[in-house]
Amino acid sequence: MYPEWLIFVVMLAVFIISAMIIRWPIGISLIVASVAGALTAGEGFPLRHFIEGTFTYLDPLLIIASAMIYMTVLEKSGLLGNLSRLIILHMYRYPLGLIFFITLFIMFPGMITGLSTAAVLTTGALVAPALMHLGIPRLKAAAMIAMSAIYGMIAPPINVPAMIIGGGVDMPFIGFEGPLLFATLPLAIGTNTILGYRHLQNVDINKILPDLDEDLLKKYGLRLYSPLLLVAVLFAGNRLIPAYFPNLGIPFIFVLGSLLGLISGRRFNFWKISTDAIHDALPVIGILIGIGVFIQIMTLTGVRGFLVVGSLSLPSFWRYLGIAVMIPLFGAISAYGAASVLGVPFLLAFLGQNEIIVGSALSLICGLGDLMPPTALAGIFAAQVIGEKNYFRVLRLTLIPAILTAVWGIGMIIFANELSTFL
């Protein structure tokens, strides 16, 4: 049997060759790397471990699939477009209020699905023309969309990187709401205020009206918002008064909201939009399956223990530097992969700190992987939304917010125990 460090090098090398040179899907590349690791360790082809790894993240998989259908229903029914219209028409006279609500609006799909691309391609695409007509330069509008999407991906109630990190140390995804809001909301509002506030001083609403959706509230009344209200009530009720609101499970709650969307607004083909939503979610579902197998084989071969011991032995300064640099760079391949391969051992390296706050901070830094070339999913799609071919022009504007985000995350780790007293 070869030493653990060599097994890890083989797994990483096979993964990088498969994903970046052969250009196989990330999920397939992770599974191929897992096979290479098992063979190198002399374990052959451990079928049982591959099957167990496939189902490691079954809960997040169900959440992502049902949430993607739910978000597509909200879009096709007209709810998202009408909500964007209301925000702009009622808040355009108040720049800070407009930034606050637009930021939350762009973040919303990411908060529900745990995917930054869902936020960019739905609410981000809806508000992009309005942002530019409000006077915000198009590259800054794209940067606002990209950063809001990443913060939405990390904000509660759904945070897949935090679920992956917690799953790696058998820590349930409970009690993360406060720390995740602290990790994302101040950064999101602050970033968009810096990028957009000075351009919102003198807004001509007549230029924006043609880009806004028709007022569906007059046609359908409050029932247009019933899918959103139902999901919000079921989520909040189970947390606040569980005696009257049983825990139905997050996927089932999204299914109920999706079915209600059939009669709440515009008509659509539910089967078609459901299959389209699942198709859009398949790359992420494949990544999570691959990550589960990858972690399972890392555990079997001792690589996971090797990484944990290595993380624990690092001096404090290098440990923090490794978190701020290595996790986002690895996230260029997959933010979820960074959460599993690096987030888990780094969490174990800080067991003396409050684990929930440390896990929240690590997930925040993992989210920056969606800004890292060559994948840079949030940056690429945000550039496409505004019609910019060179996505590096958008990434240039996200550099300082990304650095501040990493610093914010490191600060949360350093002061995790102090923050735990009020989060």
Q: Express each pLDDT in 201-254 by its tens digit.
A: 776 677 676 666 677 878 888 899 999 899 888 888 877 787 778 888 888 989
125-155 in b/e burial notation, b at 16+ Cβ within 10 A? Answer: bbbbbbbbbbbbebbbbbbbbbbbbbbbbbb
In this prediction, residues 55-82 reach a mean pLDDT of 87
SS3 of residue 245 by DSSP: coil
Q: Examine residue 9 and state whether it is found in any structural domain, yes or no.
A: no
Q: Examine residue 197 and state whether it is found in any structural domain, yes or no.
A: yes
SS3 of residue 144 by DSSP: helix
pLDDT higher than 90, residue 309:
no
* CA–CA dist 407, 324 (Å, integer): 8
Q: What is the mean pLDDT of the chain?
A: 87
Q: Examine residue 256 and state whether it is found in any structural domain, yes or no.
A: yes
Decide if 251 contacts 62 (C-beta within 8 A). yes
Query: Which residue has tokens 């997050």?
Result: 250
Q: Examine residue 20 and state whether it is found in any structural domain, yes or no.
A: no
Range of the domain at 183: 58-419
In this prediction, residues 89-99 reach a mean pLDDT of 85
Decide if 409 contacts 339 (C-beta within 8 A). no
Query: Which residue has tokens 């023309």?
Result: 129
- The pTM is what? 0.82
Tell me the residue length of the chain: 423
Tokens of 31: 């599974």
Q: pLDDT digit string (tens) for 175-194?
A: 899 999 999 999 999 999 99
Q: Examine residue 189 and state whether it is found in any structural domain, yes or no.
A: yes
Report the candidate in 55, 53, 59 with the shortest Cα–Cα distance to residue 294. 53
Q: Examine residue 71 and state whether it is found in any structural domain, yes or no.
A: yes
Q: Examine residue 358 and state whether it is found in any structural domain, yes or no.
A: yes
Q: What is the reported pLDDT for 174? A: 85
Q: Examine residue 355 and state whether it is found in any structural domain, yes or no.
A: yes
**Selected residue with higher pLDDT from 215 and 125:** 125
CA distances from 137 to 34, 141, 386 (A): 45, 6, 10
* CA–CA dist 420, 109 (Å, integer): 28
Per the structure, how many domains does the chain have?
1
Q: What percent of the chain has pLDDT over 90?
A: 32
* CA–CA dist 30, 290 (Å, integer): 5
Q: What is the reported pLDDT for 210? A: 67
